Amino acid sequence: MYQVAAGIHNTEVSRVMLSSDYLLDASYLLKAITPATRVIFLCSPNNPTGNALDQAEMEKVLKGFPGPVVIDEAYIDFSPEFSFLPRLNEFSNLIVLQTFSKAWGMAGIRLGMAFASPAVIAILNKIKYPYNLNILTQQKALELLENLEEKDVWVRNLLQERKKLETELMKFSFVEKVFPSDANFLLVRIKEARKVYEWLTSEGIIVRDRSRILLCEETLRITVGTAGENDILLRALKNYGISR
Ligand X SMILES: *Cc1c(COP(=O)(O)O)cnc(C)c1O
Point out which residues bind ligand X (CB under 6 A): 43, 47, 72, 74, 99, 101-102, 107, 112
| Parallel, antiparallel or unpaired: strands 94-99 and 112-116 | antiparallel
Q: How far is the CB of 48 from ligand X (least distance, A)?
A: 8
| Parallel, antiparallel or unpaired: strands 94-99 and 69-72 | parallel
Q: How far is the CB of 239 from ligand X (least distance, A)?
A: 30
Nearer to ligand X among residue 107 and residue 114 (C-beta)? 107
Nearer to ligand X among residue 224 and residue 237 (C-beta)? 224
What is the identity of the amino acid at 96? V
Nearer to ligand X among residue 77 and residue 237 (C-beta)? 77
Nearer to ligand X among residue 107 and residue 121 (C-beta)? 107
Q: How far is the CB of 129 from ligand X (least distance, A)?
A: 15
With residue 112 as reference, give the H or E element that holds it.
Answer: strand 112-116
**Residue 204 and residue 233 in contact, taking contact as beta carbons nearer than 8 Å:** no
Q: How far is the CB of 52 from ligand X (least distance, A)?
A: 13
Q: If DSSP codes are grouped into helix, strand and coil, which group holds residue 192?
A: coil
Q: If DSSP codes are grouped into helix, strand and coil, which group holds residue 186?
A: strand
